[in-house]
Amino acid sequence: MRAFVLAPVERRKILIGKNIVLTLIALVFSAALLFVNEIAFGDLTPGILLFVSLSFLVFAVTMALTGNWFSIRFPKRMKFGKRTNISGVPGLLIFPLLIAMAMPPLVAVGVGILRRVY
């Protein structure tokens, strides 16, 4: 993505394409988790569908915003011909970002489990 951000193409077009792909990835993850939940627990209800829809929206928006911010704020030229790891500020911030994106669904699941137990 960094190579594309520094290319002579409008950033807006690149970021729109990246956001579309990230939204599709979020949709696939949400659908896969819904499928696994249905197989494991067999309790597909309208409430669960609403939860999955809202989790999808939170995940897709968070991924789009943070991805755009990283791409614009920390552009870095790719070294073609070499496989490089993520380094610098984006590499450092990726772990807190993943934890922050996972928190809303995890808290909601925790509340659901506590509600069933008590």
pLDDT digit string (tens) for 21-54? 888 887 887 788 788 878 877 778 888 788 878 8
Average pLDDT over the chain, rounded to whole? Answer: 75
Handedness of CA 7, 13, 16, 18 (dihedral sign): negative
Predicted pLDDT of residue 50: 86
Predicted pLDDT of residue 111: 81
Q: Which range marks the domain in which residue 66 is found? A: 2-117
Question: What total of structural domains would you count in the chain?
Answer: 1
Element (H, E) at 42: none
CA separation, residue 66 to residues 20, 52, 58, 59, 70 (Å): 14, 21, 12, 11, 6
Query: What DSSP string runs through 90-117?
Result: HHHHHHHHHHHHHHHHHHHHHHHHHHHH
User: Tokens in use for 95?
Assistant: 């772990």
Output the pTM of the full model: 0.55
- Give the angle 77-83-89 at the CA atoms, nearest 5°: 50
